[in-house]
Amino acid sequence: MDSHYGQPDGSGITVRLATAGPDNSPDDVRGLVFSDGRLTETVEAEPAGGENTYRFDISGRSGIMYILSGASSIEGLDGIIAGKSTFEDLASVTGTAEEMTSCGTAMTGSLDLEKAGDVNTVSMTRSVARLDIAPAEDGVRIHGIRISGIAESGYLLPRTSGMAYPDDVPLTEYSKDHGDSPLENDAETLLYLVEQSGESASAEISAGFGGAMHTFSVRLPKSISRNTVYTIKVYGNGASLSVPVNGDGWEEGESAGSSPVPAGKVDTDNSVIPDGVRVNDGGDTVYVSHLKTSFTLSLLAEPGSKVVTDGSSDLVRIEQVPQGKSGLEKVAAVSVSSGMRMPGVSEDRINLDIVTDGTATGRVVLVFMRNPVGIGGHIKLDADGTCDFGKYIDGELGTFRIPADKMLRLEFGEDESPWMKAVETSEANPEPGTRVYRILGGWKPNDPLADGREQTGTIVISDKDGSGRESYTVKRRNLGLPVVKMGDTWWAKYNLRGNVKDFSDQITPDRDPAAHDRLADLLLYVPDTELYGLMGDQYQGGYLEGLELSYDGSSFYYDGMKSSGQNFGTMDPGTMAPDGYMIPDYDDFAFFSASDNYNIGGTGTRSFTNMAGEEISVTVSERTVSFLGQEYGTIAVYDFSHEGNHWVLYGPGHQWNTTPGNIARMNILLATYGDSGRSWCMEGYAEADRPGQNWMKFTSQNQTKTRTIRCIKSPVEYIYE
């Protein structure tokens, strides 16, 4: 809309806009001044300090000023131009209800400038009507509403002459489904309507009460007037349309009565209704359990009627076989097949409408109830009721909340280990009438079958007599690392290599070369070429791929080393380890030392008391090796023993910067979680260089230096044999 901004010349006036109600704040206020029926200027209003009070700097005091608020989205105003447009042009502007409510609620008013004072009050009228809906009785639940015959557009200004409503306006419809949260107690605003006239507008309401679903219809008044609230009140025996007396500034509108749509009926004597399917006493609502089922309904209605299916579901198939019968006749034998409804899938409703002479005269509602089982946690079921993790996972896989009169158990194949466990929990404040089970994924130390094969288990829920069975399949990959228990911690036997997340890069239990022998002996006597593959790679924080020991013709180096990495001490300890394992922390490594700076001695065997007060024995051995066809030098093997178990520390040493050759060959820097600046390391020395010195230290290290990763098993609640 073209605007001419009047300049202050002493003709400015102040106007308070009188509105009321929850949507009473004018927005984007402007004045359109008409003199002798022609638009002379458009003035943007400025707030004048008081509530809803504005200053209009107009150029004179003659003519009528029409005030618009919240109308900036109405496209028809774009053609209203000062000096060209007439009042009839403005009066002919139409807009949709959406345009009239997208920038606040469109309101209009007018002021005779010749009679105006310096301060004036103008009553503003909304350009739309409002339609509300409310349950009028306890126990009434409104599930959905559909309104048809709504005028698509209406006039912005009230019409004082000619047609009050635009001619040949297209009609549209509105629908709302409350889904699993029906409207029960409070009123709610459905939509805004433009002014319209005629018998076309009507509403159909789906509501539940008394244990059954019902459908009601109501016709809106012949004339829908602006600035008016219409309220559909839903009772247990029907619905009515009325306007309550209220204080929100909307006017009272005409009332209209309504009545229930006559219900269709299920002929239960001629229907095939299995367990899990129930017809209400009124015969107009059928409740279908979540279990897979099939049934046949015979429907009764007046002669000449037919059945029309309204609604659909991927889980439901409905077929009709027409049949006849005298009097109230059996309109059709309807065959219904319903698939298993998985936990978390919402309730579905499908209507079987009885249509007579083109008019809906009855309805049978099929309610496909949601599964009462609730699932939480990591378990996510597909349409077939299967959760395939596709990887190794343990710990709490998820929770199952089941009705108290049901039972839950696990089933495994004949050759499958019981890798899952169900534990009933006394969860705080559980839902009444329910029981909660935790589904635990277990771990088997040094499982020779942990080679990536699929493990499968079935969660079965049934009645206590075994009937009403429903089952869900859970799958994972069986993977792991060879481990040894030292104290309360399960330690990996080997250093990581390759991609830290890829079990296929690691030494796994089915490929453990020291499964039945002491690892220290293997490391001391295996050929150099085999030892090279057992030593493991080096790592920098955040980089999952290992840095392989390489030789460039003159120096050893770790291929791919970066100038810096992330901090192992602050990263999630599971980030740089395979699923189910983690980076050790201070206390884990402290088990192998008597202090933060402890000399375990040179070659040979000796014992000491560790920081936890337990007796530890350690044997230090050395060997000289050649890797990649070049002499690498002396490396050490540290065999720690506790209560008959052996954990062996070894490694090729770390590189302290990116320069080839800068490798501390006997200094094994260990990835350590929990401290941002310090890490554990074995600062080793060859017996020939510094006799009797191999220091287990917790000391400051930067993020550039490479680390050996020797991970530990993440805590696991369920260990199975």
Confidence of residue 18 (pLDDT cuts 50, 70, 90): confident
pLDDT digits (tens, 9 = 90+) for 115-166: 988 889 999 899 999 999 888 777 788 999 999 889 999 999 998 765 667 8
374-479 has the same fold as 129-260: yes
Q: 3-class SS at 91?
A: helix
Confidence of residue 178 (pLDDT cuts 50, 70, 90): confident
- At residue 117, the pLDDT reads 86
Q: Specify the higher pLDDT residue, 321 or 413.
A: 413
Whether residue 242 contacts residue 228, with contact meaning beta carbons closer than 8 Å, is answered with: no
| Sequence ranges of the domains in the chain | 13-126, 129-260, 265-368, 374-479, 483-713
- The sign one gets for the Cα dihedral 289, 295, 298, 299 is positive
Pairing mode, if any, of strands 188-193 and 129-135?
antiparallel
Between 26-30, 158-162, 348-352, 515-519, the lowest mean confidence (pLDDT) is in 158-162
265-368 is a CATH 2.60.40.10 domain = yes
Whether residue 186 contacts residue 202, with contact meaning beta carbons closer than 8 Å, is answered with: no
Residue 416 CA to residue 706 CA, distance in Å, equals: 41
Residue 400 CA to residue 533 CA, distance in Å, equals: 45
Whether residue 124 contacts residue 91, with contact meaning beta carbons closer than 8 Å, is answered with: no
Residue 576 CA to residue 714 CA, distance in Å, equals: 13
Confidence of residue 5 (pLDDT cuts 50, 70, 90): very low
String of b and e for 237-260 (b: at least 16 CB within 10 Å)? ebbbbbbeeeeebbeebeebebeb
pLDDT at 484 over 90: yes
- At residue 164, the pLDDT reads 63
Q: Specify the higher pLDDT residue, 417 or 306.
A: 417
Residue 92 CA to residue 85 CA, distance in Å, equals: 11
Whether residue 624 contacts residue 612, with contact meaning beta carbons closer than 8 Å, is answered with: no
pLDDT at 212 over 80: no
Q: 3-class SS at 650?
A: coil
pLDDT at 237 over 80: no
State the average pLDDT for the chain. Answer: 88
Whether residue 235 contacts residue 141, with contact meaning beta carbons closer than 8 Å, is answered with: no
Between 104-118, 176-190, 261-275, 627-641, the lowest mean confidence (pLDDT) is in 261-275
Residue 457 CA to residue 410 CA, distance in Å, equals: 7
Residue 97 CA to residue 252 CA, distance in Å, equals: 20
Confidence of residue 254 (pLDDT cuts 50, 70, 90): very low
- The sign one gets for the Cα dihedral 463, 465, 468, 471 is positive
- At residue 323, the pLDDT reads 59
| Structure tokens that stand for 582 in this block | 């983690």
DSSP 497-539: -SBTT-GGGS--GGG-TTSSS-HHHHHHHS-HHHHHHHS--BB
pLDDT at 185 over 60: yes
The set of residues, in sequence order, having a beta carbon less than 8 Å from that of 492 and lying 6+ positions away, is 481, 482, 483, 581, 710, 711, 712, 713
Closest CA to 412 of 362, 475, 357: 475
Closest CA to 259 of 303, 312, 307, 203: 203
Q: 3-class SS at 589?
A: helix
pTM tops 0.75 = no
Fold topology of 374-479: Immunoglobulin-like (2.60.40)
Confidence of residue 326 (pLDDT cuts 50, 70, 90): very low
pLDDT digits (tens, 9 = 90+) for 565-587: 999 999 999 999 999 999 999 99
pLDDT digits (tens, 9 = 90+) for 387-398: 999 999 999 999
- At residue 194, the pLDDT reads 93
CB atoms within 10 A of CB 19: 21
Closest CA to 181 of 216, 142, 139: 142
The set of residues, in sequence order, having a beta carbon less than 8 Å from that of 551 and lying 6+ positions away, is 557, 627, 628, 629, 630
13-126 is a CATH 1.20.1260 domain = no
The set of residues, in sequence order, having a beta carbon less than 8 Å from that of 314 and lying 6+ positions away, is none
- At residue 50, the pLDDT reads 77
| Structure tokens that stand for 222 in this block | 């012949």
pLDDT digits (tens, 9 = 90+) for 663-672: 999 999 999 9
pLDDT digits (tens, 9 = 90+) for 427-452: 655 667 889 999 999 999 999 999 99
Closest CA to 112 of 226, 5, 31: 31
pLDDT digits (tens, 9 = 90+) for 590-617: 999 999 999 999 999 999 999 999 999 9
pLDDT at 337 over 50: yes
Between 225-234, 255-264, 447-456, the lowest mean confidence (pLDDT) is in 255-264
Q: Give the mean model confidence (pLDDT) for residues 39-57.
A: 90
| Amino acid symbol at 7 | Q
| Amino acid symbol at 8 | P
Closest CA to 277 of 366, 385, 371: 366
- At residue 329, the pLDDT reads 55
- At residue 219, the pLDDT reads 78
- Highest mean pLDDT: which of 44-58, 314-328, 337-351, 698-712? 698-712
Whether residue 132 contacts residue 229, with contact meaning beta carbons closer than 8 Å, is answered with: yes
| Structure tokens that stand for 105 in this block | 């609620």
pLDDT digits (tens, 9 = 90+) for 257-274: 333 444 468 888 889 999
129-260 is a CATH 1.10.10 domain = no
Provide long-range contacts, Cβ within 8 A and 24+ apart, for 604-610. Answer: none
Closest CA to 57 of 10, 89, 116: 10
- At residue 201, the pLDDT reads 80
- At residue 360, the pLDDT reads 65
Between 213-227, 291-305, 688-702, the lowest mean confidence (pLDDT) is in 213-227
- At residue 676, the pLDDT reads 94
Q: What are the two backbone dihedrals, phi and then psi, of residue 696, each rounded to the nearest 5 degrees? A: -90, 115
Confidence of residue 331 (pLDDT cuts 50, 70, 90): low
Confidence of residue 214 (pLDDT cuts 50, 70, 90): confident
DSSP 10-24: S--EEEEEE--STT-
Q: How far apart are the first and last CA of the chain?
A: 80
- At residue 23, the pLDDT reads 54
- At residue 430, the pLDDT reads 61
| Structure tokens that stand for 615 in this block | 């007796």
Whether residue 286 contacts residue 364, with contact meaning beta carbons closer than 8 Å, is answered with: yes
